[in-house]
Structure 1
Amino acid sequence: MSINKIHITLITMLAVPPCSVLAQTPSQNYVRTVTMLDAYGTDSIQAVQYYNGLGRPTLSVATAGGNGETACTLTTYDGAGREKRRYLPVPASGLDYIPVSGVTSMGLFYLDDGFFTESHYDALDRVTAVDIAGDTWRQAGKQDRTEHLANTASDQVLHFEAPEDGSYSLTLPENTAFEYYPEGTLAKAVSYDADNRSTAVFTDLLGRKIMERTAAGDTYYVYNDLGQLRFVLTPAFNKISQEKTIYAYEYRYDNRGRVVWKKLPGAECVQYWYDSADRMAYMRDTALGNRYRFCLYDRFGRLCVQGTCSDGNRDGSVLSATSYTSGSGGVCSTGYSAPYSISDPQLEIVNYYDTYEFIGNNLTSAMPALTIGQEQRQHAIGYLTGQVVYATGGEALGTVTVYDRKGQAVRTVRKGLGGHIEDVSTEYTFTGAVDSTEVRVGVGYGGDFTAKTGYTYRYGKKTKMSLSVSHGGTAQSRDTEYSYDAIGRLSTKGRQTIRNSKSYCSYTYDVHGWLKSVSSGGFREDLYYADGLDSACHNGNISTVRWKARNDSEYKGYNLRYDGCNRLYLALFGTGDNLTGNRNYFNEQAEYDCNGNIKRLRRCGLQDAMHGGFGLVDDLRMTYEGNQLASVFDNVWRLPYAGATDFDGVAGQEYPLTYNDAGSLTSDASRRIARIDYDCLNNPVRIQFTDGNVTKYVYSATGEKLRVVYQTAVPNITVAIGSARELMPSEILFTDSTDYLLGGALTLRNGRIDKYQFDEGYCQATQYNATQDNFTFLYYDKDHLGNVRQVTKASNSTGTVVQTMNYYPFGAQFCDGSAATSDFQQYKYNGKELDKMHGLNTYDYGARQYNPVTARWDRIDPLAEKYYSVSPYVYCLNNPIRLIDPDGRKIFLVGTHDEQMRTLGYMQKLTNDNLLLNRKTGEVTIGGRRWDNRDKKLDVGTSLLRDVIGHKRTTGIQIGSESDRNRYHSYFPKDASNGKGTDGYINLNPSSSLDLKVQDSNTEKTVVETIPMEIVVGHELIHAYSAMNGNAPKDGEESSYIYRDVDGKLYETQEETSELETVGIIGNEKYTENKLRKEHGLNKRVVY
């Protein structure tokens, strides 16, 4: 993990890759890049890459800071030409060359002379160890290591089989030809992190992963005779019970190798049917019951209609396409024809492309009234112009998107639930960054709610954000200013409180770029790694965390302990600078089974609110049916005071839980949940409580929460577990509702504006009169995980603290009575909304809801196959101090909606498929074929995007600052090359002008040309694909190659193997940049 952090630091400093321009320092080889950031050339960023006499890159100098400061990094080599040391970025004075001694003496910037990593190699030039940067790490001899071995008899790798005989059976080892794999028949790669925690991966001669071994247990991968993965056996399969239905993943295939049947542990099977082009035409899971989900595609393969039906043609031979005719009836009045019979169709999603003819002609009740000009219509060709998504209950929600000539979304108008119109307009800078947005929402009373946001940039860095909000009255506005340190890291934020006054947030980092402290609005947090107050963590885990709110007299904090799987098992509380006071007051301790399910969870807290006694407040014993929590038993009595956050049960009593066939929670006796009902997309639609209270939800077919309605029942109603009861009007004491608009940014409470969320906090509405609202700005003071620790009201020069919160590591608020006064607002742990109504007490993460008291999800992870060895109900790999649990996405785009759409546009140019973006989650999915690429044969790009989007692992894509470098980063670098695979993210800099050397296809001479941004995106996606599969070259590994330069001469040099393979200069990979270039008619790249 530490190496990953180093890479993040590098990309925030470096600008773009080099191009040939004029000399910077006459005595050195170099390439200089100047990127203009406005049309007048008054703002630019620059970078110079220097090379040694053998053409190896050595010194990189680039614009980094928000005031134009420059910074540099240095790479040195050993006698064999292999990368030896890589120095972290340090400030530089201008762009001139700095000798090695000048860089190595700059450790003062970090107050650490060991600000470099150092690689070690074996005889085959494979990286075997990397010394981690930092004097503390180097003096302790801390490295990331990898051993390449063969299996031995003592490894005892079991031999399972999955015969291809039609029985779909699993043959246990004792019934196969040999129980264990013979010695020397498997390759064994053992990776050790800096704290010597290991992962061993065993692969066969075909390169297939057979087993993965960690401290928790062994995960087995079983293949059929065709080499298809048939079973994945979790550690509990061999340690607890060899019951496939609860501890194994199973896959079945048709004769074309397509998955047609899949079963996750604890859930019933999912079935798939395909058309002759291998597109999913139908699917059915237990949530659909006896119905099927169907998909209709147009002649370009784009998804046009998705819905459910009672029956249809599933023989796999159909390739007929749907077609759109404006004003026609078609399938459910969409205008789309039915290429074959579909029985009893019910719509979920309808997509329109290329034109705006659907406005006023099809599904008219769903669409907002909008007039589109002729020029705007021309810009629409090839883009998703309209979409209708159906909500729980059948209400249709229409969206229209308008584009400019660059394909940038300049206006999006949506008709939301209840007819609310959401109108978002966006303007862009010269480089395509968002310059301003204007949001207008019809809220149902008075005029429109309006929010205007403007951005200011300097040297590619965002330096100011201005927000103004209004609803019928005088607009209220506040500014936030951003500043950066000399190497480009965010150092301070100044948030306007009142006129001419600001409250400042500051950030500090260690030598790796890991966050060391956050100071915000009087709240301060300090993080410790190898320098922990109680113990040391060298692998990136946090050993100590301490914090102090503005109104605290002393620090609070935890010393943290981890097991061999990096799972948090003990958090020891203390107060004071060294956390030696009030020890154990708020401890949290967990015990795990081999799949990561918590078997026992203990917490300490305030036992007696009157007399102040502290001790054990939760001692939970949890039993399981597979990975599903079957019952909870608490040895400690329920706390009697208001605001207690402990387990709500009677000591000594067992509280059962039940689940449906989809693996989703349906009842929980401890929280008095009698029954939970779900829609066919596995979203909760109704929660019945045993006291008669009811919570109802409205979701869209894309999974967006649109409304919550709370019905509070009169006293003395009892509902049995497993039952539901519709309340009579006379039985409803009162009803509350919350509507979520703009993807949740704007909320209405009982029909009036409540909050408008923005990056730094929210605007709280207060009623001025029947048709107008006033707004008050409040800022979130967050810790390193995004947990809201303080809310500060912008009411005076420093702000007034109106809410303070403390959390146990797994997210429950401290058992000290403070929760009784912390209900000022409900966005808390990880910045997620806490729903306490009727005693639900869960955080809403979008895809699932999280119970912090039991540290469990309510549903199976939508991407449970990302981490086979871990229970799909486990939160954050049981390391909640270091990690934030993802929402379960494969490719997801980070940033504003406009930045997301811009990135999507680059990806779209690579593929014949149509890519769809979930605006709320940022998830990218495939929606059939693309019209505007119909004349292009983009087989490589199409396949690449399908493989990455369809992968079990996740890749995020974000647009960074304009001084950032385009680069892919893996979250767990060791796993990127040890066969395990890892998630990661891509940082893009669309404003950069990337020049490189290619071979002219006519003259075969080497020339310089600019690389299109879509090829840059493709290049980084290839890196991502390799890392996701775990077969990327090791970090720091280099290879030699010969190239012909622009002078016509041949040169030999070395570069990172991963880059050379990704470009296609060496190797024969499935995907390369040069393969993408070939199908785009571009010249072959010959130099990296």
Structure 2
Amino acid sequence: MKKLIIPISMLFVAGLYHAQATNTENYVQTRVYLEPVTASSSSAKQIQTVQYFDGLGRPKQVVNVKASPTGKDVVNYIEYDQFGRQVKDYLPVPQSGTMNGAIVLNPLSNATQPSIYGTEKIYSEKVPENSPLDRIQQQIQVGTAWANKPVQFGYDTNITGEVKKYTTTTVWENGATKSGVSDGGSYPQGQLYKNTVTDEDGNSTIEFKNTRGQTVLVRKAVSASENADTYYVYNKYNQLAFVVPPLAVVGTVDQPALDNLCYQYRYDGDNRLVEKKLPGKGWEYMVYDKADRLIMTQDANMRANSKWLITKYDQFGRVIYTGILAGGDRTSMQNQAGNLVITEARHPSGFTKNGMQVYYSNGYFVDIETVLSVNYYDSYPSYSFNPSFPSTIYGKTILTDNAATLGKSTKSLPVMTLLKNIEDDNWTKSYSYYDTKGRPIGGYAINHLGGYTKTESELDFAGAVLQTKTYHKRLDTDVEKVITENFTYDHQNRLLTHKHKIDNRTEEILSQNVYNELSQLKTKRVGGTVLGMGLQKVDYTYNIRGWMTQINDPANLGIDLFGYKIKYNQVDGLENPNIDFMDLKVKPKFNGNIAEVDWRTATEENEPLKRYGYVYDNLNRLSAGFYQKEGSANAKEYFERMEYDRNGNITRLQRSAGLLSGSTTALSIDNLKYDYSGNRLTKVTEEQIGNSNGYPYFVTHNTITYDDNGNMISHKDKGINSILYNYLNLPSTVISGSGRRSSSSSYIYRADGTKLKKILANSFAMSGTEIDYLDGFQYDNKVDLCIGCPSSSAILKFVPTSEGYFDFEKNLYIYNYTDHLGNVRLSYADPNGDGGILPRDMNSKYCEDMGDGNMACYDVWMPGEVVEVNNYYPFGLMHNYTGTTMNSYQYKYNGKELQETGMYDYGARFYMPDIGRWGVVDPLAEKSRRWSPYNYALNNPIYFTDPDGMDVVETASGTTYTGDDAQSAFRSLRSQLEGGPRPKIISRKEWGAKSPILGGGRSYEKLSPTMKMFGAFDVSVGGVPIDLAKYYNTITVHHSGNKDDYMSIQQLQQKEQDDGYADIPYHFAIDSKGNIYEGRPIGVKGSHVKGGNTGNIGIVLMSDLDTENKGLGFFQSMFETSDGGASTAMRQSLTDLVSHLNGKYGIQYLGGHKEKATDPRNCPGNGGMKIVEYLRNKLHMLSPKNEN
């Protein structure tokens, strides 16, 4: 027997324990303790896995010991075919009990239990081709219904005339490349690799790559005769110069097409992106210092005012402050910065700007006009407004900046952030406090009005939050509000209960969770004050793919207020609900699209079941949503039907209203025709004459106008005369109407884009409304506009909770039922405190014993306790009927705030549900360049949502939006299904990493944390806050090329530092034994692909994987039958690591170094590329686009 027991340290105590594992098997046992122990323990709270290997060193079974909610083992079974390939991937199977880590002889036998998988097929299959290349031809997902619905892969080369050949001419102008593009005919036959992926519903994507591995064309089949083609065009230096989206491909790529539809890029002599132009926007410029750090950026609106956004760093590459600087053109600014390593340092007096003392030097570009943000690290600056520093929080000692006190300090930690309001010179000052393990457990934020929000968190040994307290004041003179939250967890740290208390009010139990054996949220009791009870009991069900299928049962509500059913590969309604569109049929879907949703509420007596059936085109765009109500399914109510151009711009939208009393067919309210200049919507024409409920009708419709950044600045059809924007392209003022009927909405934001205030004013009224947004606490303040009028005080309206919100005026917890998109569908409360919810107004008999043997009975009117009911068209417009019995708050579609203009505020952009698009270019438009930068949710708002206006996420077939707790549980399950257990990563501390060598032009750019409220952190790049999951979208694999069989991680670090790098340039390294090491921290920008490190995670395989260096025979080299030196353990660890990173960051692109590099090289070798291509197919990733 061979056994290896790995202790997990980091924040945990390791234990060496001889499990009840079979003594005839090879295994690795891992324990992560969730509570402190002083010796190895089998009874302590812990996460324990045992991985078993066969005689060839291949994993064959992973036992997750007592991992199920009832303490049973959950086993991952692994099998190989006769060629040693893992062609079947099994779902994890909960067992009938626990064997304390021993190998399970028949791990699949319990899978057939009805509460587990029943009769479903529980493995996915890969069907490789019958050749030495071993390429995947089909991938068949789990589930019996998917057995004959494979994803198919095709491999070929192009034929003559199949792919256009764009040619470029490149000259140097102002120190940068400037390329022109022209039609060069087509590629000859056999010049391009052609890879085709066809999904379960027959929708095809074809990718053509040249011999350098660069993607030339991505083709989506719209129909048998029409394609949506996106071309990638490179200059003579093999840099991405143009992206030509589908709408531009159909015509001549002349200058208007380039400016209005295409992406254009220019680079300097160091291969850095210095100029770019997105469709419909003006040119944007970038300036770097000598250390290749982005120092200044300028968009078209800023250029019109000769302004630059500047970012300054300290000596460790951390962002210390940002601001606005006056300056000339890019060339002059680059000449000033290019020969300097621009760093500033802490300074005892610093400088003063915008009413704030900044304790940093200002030695470079000293004429900053406005400071926007300041970040402090290591030690707390001495400001007069600093709050009292806590010595303990929940009994835990707080780190100070004096290492002499505890032998450790806040050195290297972010401790304070200052954020200026964009529209005035008021500031938000935020502090973070840490325990002795460096974990943030407290925060203090002084808001721009002088009040504060203070948070304190009690963490358990493993970092799970046990209790939090939030102390809040709008103004420093206000009465403090205190919110206390308590959390309990099961033995695997799944959340069980979440309790909430406002001041000294009775504690409310927001949620009580029960999980099934697969760790999916099964039942949630919501609201109330008694454990085991609840105002509502919400039941969840899932299909074999892990996709949510029901929230309660709409066919049988019982005492539930709301039921919602999602159907993917099932259609129960009419296939053709609207005979006006005979070509649009509702069909079962197998690729994750939703075919139908059913819902019912209990707000009407005998309320009928309601349904939407959905139709999609071959690009997975929503073509129609057909509403059907029980008893009148073909009445054509509430439907939406869309047509698109090749870029995904809506060209026509039709919509109907609800059924009028006595009618059998609903009225059409919209027949909208869209006109465009490029992707900019210039006019919407309402062709439904006589419409009074839909889009406004005019004989001659008005032109929609834009600024140079592509921001919509007027939409007069809807009464919007002008919109002014700040430097973040957020609306600062919206003016509607004219003359005495004009009104305005003005906004105040922090420099990070957080909305702080909205001011509503009407020219015909002598009062207005101010709404304050302070760390979730929302206030309304009626403001008198007349001179000498008395002022009123702000009223605290509500604060959100994980299940809804607390209404301070009504002194009520209000709970929201939300669907899979986060749409608020029904809200309810318990104003009488009886522990039950009356769904609707009704007469009831009340009887009283008169004491003489007789009963006196009265008719009593009882008001319903449902606060609001909302139904939505597919693109988010609300139906014209909304049932309410109390005033409701304005967070509706996707949980976003509805504005007075009818738009929804998503954070980065405002969305217009009446026309189904944004009014501002996507800040991350380059992540989806074949789509219009104004499209909403990739034109599939049933499958995708956009949490912040910057990027879409999957919903129903990915993360389900049924509250934070359910999201966490489901993400955990999804990680198990897709990537297996998180791989063991040996930290820098564990392998004894040396400190980085800084200075001397060595790149070590930290993605500096920007502190936010409640002790949480975001990351900023160039001073712009981001989420790491949105920052990282690419993985690049390298090989070290060492000729010996083994290289240590220490040798690798020494080699790279000797070669002039600050540290290991890669984020992870894998050796031949399969050990995974932390290289450069994930919070530090990589330095492994020249000019292409942004958003790119680097992984190096510590071996020589080039078959040409291995003495292979001609046949082996040609067909790459060798692994090029990659051991089985190395391949498996790379698979585990990439799967883990994909689940965590949502990786889109996976490639080898040679696919991203601009100079010829064969890294990671032929063997490495073989592994990369296998993983790319397995995980459905794209090859990298050779771009920054």
TM-score (norm 1): 0.78
1:912 Cα offset (Å): 5.7
- After superposition, the C-alpha distances for 1:879-936 in whole angstroms (9 at most, x for unaligned) are 111111253669999989xx9xxx9x999999762522463797522469xxxxxxxx
Which deviates further from its counterpart, 188-197 or 233-242?
233-242
Q: Indicate if the aligned counterparts of 1:808 and 1:814 stay in contact, CA closer than 8 A.
A: yes
Of 706, 714, 724, the residue aligned with 1:667 is 714
CA 1:77–1:278 in 2, change beyond 3 Å: closer, same or farther?
same
| Equivalent position of 2:937 in the other structure | 876
SS in structure 2 at match of 1:136: helix
1:846 is aligned to: 907
1:68–1:401 CA distance, 2 compared to 1 (3 A): same
Q: Pick from 41, 54, 57: which aligns with 1:55?
A: 57
For 1:698, the equivalent position in structure 2 comes to 748
Is residue 857 of structure 2 the alignment partner of residue 855 of structure 1?
no
- Cα pair 2:508 2:528 within 8 Å, conserved: no
The one-letter amino acid of 2:481's match is: F
Q: Name which of 891, 896, 899 aligns with 1:827.
A: 891
Aligned to 2:72: 69
- The corresponding residue for 1:80 is 83
Displacement of 1:31 in angstroms is: 3.2
Q: Is the 2:682–2:704 Cα contact (8 Å) retained in structure 1? A: yes
Query: Residue 753 of structure 1: CA displacement?
Result: 1.1
Change (3 A) 1:955 1:337: closer
1:941 alignment partner in structure 2: none
Deviation (angstroms), 1:183: 1.0
2:146 corresponds to: 137
Q: Is 1:458 paired with 2:490?
A: yes
Question: Measured at CA, do residues 1022 and 59 of structure 1 come closer, stay the same or move farther in structure 2, by a change above 3 Å?
Answer: farther
Which of the numbers 308, 314, 325 marks the counterpart of 1:292? 308
- SS at structure 2 position matched to 1:786: coil
Query: Match of 1:251?
Result: 265
Report the equivalent of 1:818: 882
Q: Give how far 1:25 is off.
A: 3.1
CA distance in 1, matches of 2:723, 2:639: 33
Relative to structure 1, the CA distance from residue 148 to residue 1027 in structure 2 (aligned partners, 3 Å threshold; closer, same or farther) is: farther
- Give the CA deviation at 1:24: 1.8
Q: Distance in 1 between matches of 2:77 and 2:453?
A: 50
What is the SS of the residue equivalent to 1:398?
strand
Measure, in 2, the Cα distance between the counterparts of 1:544 and 1:342.
60
The residue type paired with residue 944 of structure 2 is L
1:725-764 alignment, distance < 5 Å:
732-742=765-775, 744=776, 746-747=778-779, 750=782, 751-764=794-807
| Deviation at residue 593 of structure 1 after TM alignment | 0.2
The structural deviation recorded for 1:55 is 2.9
Deviations 1:701-746 (A, max 9, x none): 10100110111221xxxxxxxxxxxxxxxxx43211111111x355
Equivalent in 638, 642, 654 of residue 586 of structure 1: 638
Gaps of 5+ in 2: 1-11, 38-42, 223-227, 393-397, 403-408, 554-559, 576-586, 783-793, 838-864, 954-958, 969-981, 990-994, 997-1003, 1038-1045, 1052-1070, 1101-1119, 1142-1149, 1157-1174, 1176-1188
1:607/1:616 contact within 8 Å kept: no
Amino acid at match of 2:137: T
Q: How far apart, CA to CA, are the structure 1 residues paired with 2:105 and 2:352?
A: 72
**2: distance between equivalents of 1:252 and 1:431?**
48
* Corresponding residue of 1:954: 1030
Partner residue in 2 for 1:932: none
Which among 357, 375, 384 is matched to residue 381 of structure 2?
357
Residues 1:279 and 1:798: Cα distance change in structure 2 (over 3 Å):
same
Residues 1038 and 45 (structure 1 numbering): CA distance in 2 closer, same or farther, change over 3 Å?
farther
Cα separation, 2, equivalents of 1:681 and 1:319? 27
SS at match of 1:262: strand
CA apart distance, 1:89: 2.3
Alignment of 1:259-408 (within 5 A): 259-288=273-302, 289-311=305-327, 314-315=334-335, 316-329=338-351, 333-343=357-367, 345-360=369-384, 368=387, 370=389, 375-378=399-402, 379-391=409-421, 392-408=423-439
Instruction: Say whether the 8 Å CA contact 2:733–2:744 is kept in structure 1.
Output: yes
2-side partners of 1:857 and 1:447: how far apart?
40
Aligned to 1:963: none
Which position in structure 2 is the counterpart of 1:126? Answer: 135
Identity rate, percent = 26
Partners of 2:294 and 2:1022 within 8 A in 1: no
User: Relative to 1, partners in 2 of residues 1:1069 and 1:319: Cα closer, same or farther, differing over 3 Å?
Assistant: closer
1:430 match: 461
Question: 1:515 matched to which residue of 2?
Answer: 548
Q: For 1:797 and 1:917, how far apart are their aligned partners in 2?
A: 43
Q: Are the aligned partners of 1:235 and 1:869 in contact in 2 as well (CA < 8 Å)?
A: yes
1:1000 and 1:635 mapped to 2: Cα distance?
68
Number of equivalent positions: 939
Where in structure 2 are the equivalents of 1:407-418 lying within 5 Å? 407-418=438-449
1:180 aligns to what? 186
Q: CA deviation at 1:377?
A: 2.2
Which residue among 861, 871, 874 is the counterpart of 1:806? 871
Contact 1:788–1:827, Cα closer than 8 Å, also in 2: yes
Does residue 776 (structure 1) correspond to residue 778 (structure 2)? The answer is no
Q: Report the residue type matching 2:339 in the other structure.
A: S
Q: Does 2:200 correspond to 1:194?
A: yes
Aligned 1:459-498 pairs, distance under 5 A: 459-470=491-502, 474=505, 476-498=507-529
Q: Compared with structure 1, are the counterparts of its residues 823 and 636 closer, same or farther at alpha carbon in structure 2 (3 Å cutoff)?
A: farther
Q: Distance in 1 between matches of 2:378 and 2:817?
A: 44
Q: Deviations over 1:652-694 (max 9, x none)?
A: 5424211111111101112200000111221211111123101
Instruction: State the Cα distance separating 1:23 from its structure 2 match.
Output: 4.7
Q: Is the 8 A contact 2:379 2:411 kept in 1?
A: yes
Paired position in structure 2 for 1:965:
none
Distance 2:234 2:1074 in 1: 47
Question: Which stretch shifts more, 551-560 or 697-706?
Answer: 551-560
For 1:621 and 1:98, how far apart are their aligned partners in 2?
63
Quote the Cα distance in structure 2 between the aligned partners of 1:481 and 1:371: 33
Residue range with higher mean Cα deviation, 876-885 or 512-521: 512-521
Cross-structure match for 2:668: 616
| Cα deviation code 1:230-265 (max 9, x no counterpart) | 111111112256321101111111111111111111
Contact 2:722 2:734 in 1 (8 A): yes
Partner Cα distance (2:1030, 2:760) in 1? 35
Name the structure 2 match of 1:163. 170
SS, match of residue 596 in structure 1: coil
**Contact 1:415–1:422 (CA<8 Å) still a contact in 2?**
yes
Q: Distance in 1 between matches of 2:647 and 2:988?
A: 37
Q: Which amino acid aligns with 2:420?
A: Y
Evaluate the alpha carbon distance shift between residue 1018 and residue 699 of structure 1 in structure 2; reply closer, same or farther with a 3 A threshold: closer
Question: Contact conserved, 1:574 with 1:584, CA < 8 A, in 2?
Answer: yes
Q: Matches of 2:665 and 2:1126 in 1, distance apart?
A: 75
3-state SS, counterpart of residue 329 of structure 1: strand
Match of 2:1132 among 1023, 1030, 1055: 1055
Rounded to whole Å, the distance in 2 between the matches of 1:488 and 1:17 is 25
Larger radius of gyration, structure 1 or 2? 2
Please report how far the alpha carbon of residue 878 of structure 1 lies from its aligned counterpart in structure 2 after TM superposition. 0.6
Q: Which amino acid aligns with 2:167?
A: F
Match of 1:916 among 1001, 1005, 1009: 1009
| 1:1012 CA displacement | 8.1
Structure 1 residues 969-1048: aligned runs within 5 Å: none
CA 1060–467 in structure 1, closer or farther in 2 if over 3 Å, else same: closer
| 1:681 lines up with 2:728 in the alignment | yes
Number of the residue aligned with 2:1162: none
The residue that corresponds to 2:848 in the other structure is: none
The residue correspondences of 1:535-574 to structure 2 (distance < 5 A) are 535-551=587-603, 553-574=607-628
For residue 654 of structure 1, give the secondary structure of its aligned residue in structure 2: coil
SS of the residue aligned with 2:109?
Answer: helix
Which residue in the other structure is 2:927 paired with?
866
